């Protein structure tokens, strides 16, 4: 089955991009792909590093920025742009590679890409951030690194709807005749040709994925857990976009978020938290600490080691390492962030019987709904516009028919419950849920079919590589 054993490496010394390559090499023997094709899939195709000056008050600062296109097996390439002082080439390359594998797993027809600007969004005036965003976009346009059919950015750590609207405006200013120009970026405000449901998409996808993972009785029995999310005790690291929406939505499934960790510390309450209330408290006080009824934990990393059923790291990479992995008590670790568990930590967790739901699957909700937004922009029509009223009329006719046959009248409340044509948000959430269910089915089926497979991450990488391999075969490049 395997061509060769994965070379022995010191897992503690791997950089982020080396970690991604390690996972790739671990999965490669299960794919039966030729070595030459594996090397092509693994390599980053294009790396663009740029430096440009921006006026910062009375001073001028040189900004370091990147855009990496990992794979052109499908076009356009797709991936977020992050603003952080920790941005470097290795990080952006790793994230771009993860995007390639992520898109393949959820059957989104994009190659992977990623961007990064070395700047602190918290400590930079809004007018400077806008200038940086516009200049970065201009540099991408000059090199053909952005466009509806070339490369489509999206939000990431430190960016959001505002930055995406600025990118779109800059692109449309320089490309005024591009009728599909709104599709040059996703994650835009709904008022600026965005799509309903994109903001919460990654968090909602995490919950859909967890619901599917926890739906298998045999799998849960091995972990000593009941089927479903109801009653599950959850710890979430990070109350940003992904963490907040995960915490808010998972509550609807009956789970309890018993601890939330952030930069300033963590809070704990066995009865569970309402994410909206915690976020409101943080906005009012500047911290999640001292939330009414909660126990403060000064060192936020200690919250990850508390007893729980599901641990969701939704912040940054390398949060669970060989140092704290032995103390992790969760039965399931769901990688809502990119690369939060290091290879060295993963080896420890797997020996303990912990199930790790890999990032390239579980946080793919964002790119899935970005795909829907891209399709919406290319079709120039809101989802649901063509069929909503037709569906409602058809449902009304069905109720009239049933009433005429039975001689009984439905109440207004019953009618309103039945008659509902799909709005854009309904279609987006339905498509996202179907995507996450199917993707996990593919991963789990492959995992069960290979007796030598020991973890879901390797299975997910193998599934992804096989799908990319098939795309190359379809091109006729490899016989």
pLDDT at position 152, please?
A: 98
pLDDT at position 10, please?
A: 79
Distance from C-alpha of 308 to C-alpha of 257, rounded to nearest angstrom: 9
Task: Please check the confidence at residue 2 and state whether its pLDDT lies above 50.
Answer: no
Distance from C-alpha of 198 to C-alpha of 215, rounded to nearest angstrom: 25
pLDDT tens, residue by residue, 250-304: 999 999 999 999 999 999 999 999 999 999 999 999 999 999 999 999 999 999 9
Task: Assign 164 a pLDDT band (cuts: 50, 70, 90).
Answer: very high
CATH, domain 44-194, list 3.30.70.1140, 3.20.20.70, 3.40.50.300, 3.40.50.10860:
3.40.50.10860
pLDDT at position 422, please?
A: 84
385 or 467, which is more confident: 467
pLDDT at position 1, please?
A: 39
Which residues touch 312 (CB under 8 Å, ≥6 apart)? Answer: 206, 234, 235, 236, 237, 243, 246, 333, 334, 336
The beta strands (E) that lie in 326-464 are given as 332-334, 355-357
Task: Assign 399 a pLDDT band (cuts: 50, 70, 90).
Answer: confident
Q: Is 221 a catalytic residue?
A: no
pLDDT at position 478, please?
A: 66
Q: Are 30 and 2 in contact (CB under 8 A)?
A: yes
Distance from C-alpha of 270 to C-alpha of 159, rounded to nearest angstrom: 33
Write down the catalytic residue from 78, 102, 114, 256: 114
Of how many residues is the chain composed?
Answer: 479
pLDDT at position 393, please?
A: 87
What average pLDDT does the structure give for the chain? 93
CATH code given to domain 201-362? 3.40.50.720
Centroid of chain to Cα 371: 12
**Of 228-237, 256-265, 411-420, 450-459, which gets the smallest average pLDDT?**
411-420
pLDDT tens, residue by residue, 9-61: 778 878 888 999 999 999 999 998 999 999 999 999 999 999 999 998 889 99
Q: Are 66 and 92 in contact (CB under 8 A)?
A: yes
Distance from C-alpha of 158 to C-alpha of 19, rounded to nearest angstrom: 23
Centroid of chain to Cα 394: 37
Distance from C-alpha of 248 to C-alpha of 385, rounded to nearest angstrom: 29
- 52's enclosing H/E stretch is strand 46-56
215's tokens = 């739906």
pLDDT at position 21, please?
A: 93
Domains 44-194 and 201-362 share a fold: yes
pLDDT at position 316, please?
A: 83
pLDDT at position 255, please?
A: 97
Which residues touch 401 (CB under 8 Å, ≥6 apart)? Answer: none
pLDDT at position 324, please?
A: 94
Give backbone dihedrals phi and psi of 294, rounded to 5 degrees, phi first: -105, 155
- Helix then strand then coil, in percent of the chain rounded to 5, is 50, 15, 35
27 or 408, which is more confident: 27
Which residues touch 273 (CB under 8 Å, ≥6 apart)? Answer: 247, 257, 258, 260, 267, 291, 294
pLDDT at position 411, please?
A: 87
295's tokens = 């126990």
Distance from C-alpha of 250 to C-alpha of 253, rounded to nearest angstrom: 5
Q: Are 153 and 185 in contact (CB under 8 A)?
A: yes
Q: Is the pTM of this model over 0.85?
A: yes
What is the percent of the chain with per-residue pLDDT over 70, rounded to a whole number?
A: 98
* CA trace torsion 469, 474, 478, 479 (10° rounding): 120
Around Cβ 395, how many Cβ atoms within 10 Å? 15
Distance from C-alpha of 359 to C-alpha of 317, rounded to nearest angstrom: 10
**Of 2-11, 39-48, 387-396, which gets the smallest average pLDDT?**
2-11
Q: Are 418 and 395 in contact (CB under 8 A)?
A: yes
Task: Please check the confidence at residue 4 and state whether its pLDDT lies above 80.
Answer: no
The residue assigned the tokens 């490049």 is 477
Distance from C-alpha of 73 to C-alpha of 70, rounded to nearest angstrom: 9
Give the CB-side neighbour count of residue 445, counting CA atoms within 13 A: 7
pLDDT tens, residue by residue, 56-115: 888 999 999 999 999 999 999 999 999 999 999 999 999 999 999 999 999 999 999 999
* Domain coordinates in residue numbering, the chain: 44-194, 201-362
DSSP 8-class letter at 160: -
Burial class (CB in 10 A: 0-12, 13-18, 19+), 64: middle
- 262's enclosing H/E stretch is strand 256-262
Q: Are 286 and 254 in contact (CB under 8 A)?
A: no
pLDDT at position 479, please?
A: 62
């Amino acid at each position: 089955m395997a061509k060769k054993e994965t070379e022995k490496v010191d897992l503690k010394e791997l950089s982020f991009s080396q970690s991604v390559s390690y996972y790739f090499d671990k999965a490669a023997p299960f794919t039966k792909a030729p070595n030459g094709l594996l090397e092509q899939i693994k390599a980053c195709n294009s790396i663009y590093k740029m430096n440009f000056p921006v006026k910062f008050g009375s001073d001028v600062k040189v900004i370091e920025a990147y855009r990496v296109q990992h794979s052109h097996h499908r076009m356009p390439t797709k991936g977020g742009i992050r603003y952080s002082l920790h941005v470097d080439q290795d990080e952006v390359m790793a994230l771009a590679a993860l995007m390639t594998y992520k898109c393949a797993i959820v059957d989104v027809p994009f190659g992977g890409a990623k961007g990064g600007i070395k700047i602190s969004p918290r400590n930079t005036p809004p007018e400077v951030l806008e200038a940086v965003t516009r200049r970065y976009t201009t540099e991408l346009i000059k090199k053909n690194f952005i466009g509806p059919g070339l490369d489509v950015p999206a939000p990431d750590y430190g960016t959001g709807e505002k930055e995406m609207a600025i990118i779109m405006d800059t692109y449309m200013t320089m490309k005024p005749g591009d009728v599909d120009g709104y599709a040059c970026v996703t994650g835009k405000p709904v008022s600026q040709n965005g799509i309903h449901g994109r903001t919460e998409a990654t968090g909602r996808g995490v919950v859909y994925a967890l619901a599917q993972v926890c739906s298998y009785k045999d799998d849960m029995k091995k972990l000593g857990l009941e089927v479903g999310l109801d009653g599950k005790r959850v710890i979430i690291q990070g109350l940003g976009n992904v963490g907040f929406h995960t915490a808010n939505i998972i509550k609807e499934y009956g789970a309890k978020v018993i601890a939330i960790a952030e930069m300033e510390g963590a809070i704990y309450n066995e009865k569970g938290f309402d994410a909206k209330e915690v976020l409101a408290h943080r906005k009012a006080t500047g911290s999640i600490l001292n939330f009414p009824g909660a126990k403060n934990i000064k060192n936020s990393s200690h919250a990850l080691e508390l007893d729980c059923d599901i641990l969701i790291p939704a912040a940054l990479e390398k949060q669970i390492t060989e140092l704290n992995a032995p103390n992790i008590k969760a039965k399931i670790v769901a990688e809502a962030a990119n690369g939060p568990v290091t290879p060295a930590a993963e080896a420890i967790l797997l020996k303990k019987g912990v199930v790790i739901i890999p990032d390239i699957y579980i946080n793919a909700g964002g790119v899935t709904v970005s795909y829907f937004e891209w399709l919406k922009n290319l079709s120039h029509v809101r989802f649901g516009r063509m069929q909503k009223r037709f569906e409602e009329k058809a449902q009304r006719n069905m109720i009239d028919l049933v009433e005429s046959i039975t001689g009984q009248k439905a109440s207004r409340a019953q009618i309103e419950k039945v008659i509902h044509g799909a709005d854009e948000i309904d279609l987006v959430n339905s498509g996202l849920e179907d995507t996450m269910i199917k993707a996990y089915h593919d991963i789990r089926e492959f995992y069960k079919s290979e007796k030598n497979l020991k973890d879901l991450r390797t299975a997910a990488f193998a599934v992804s590589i096989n799908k990319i391999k098939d795309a190359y075969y379809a091109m006729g490049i490899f016989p």
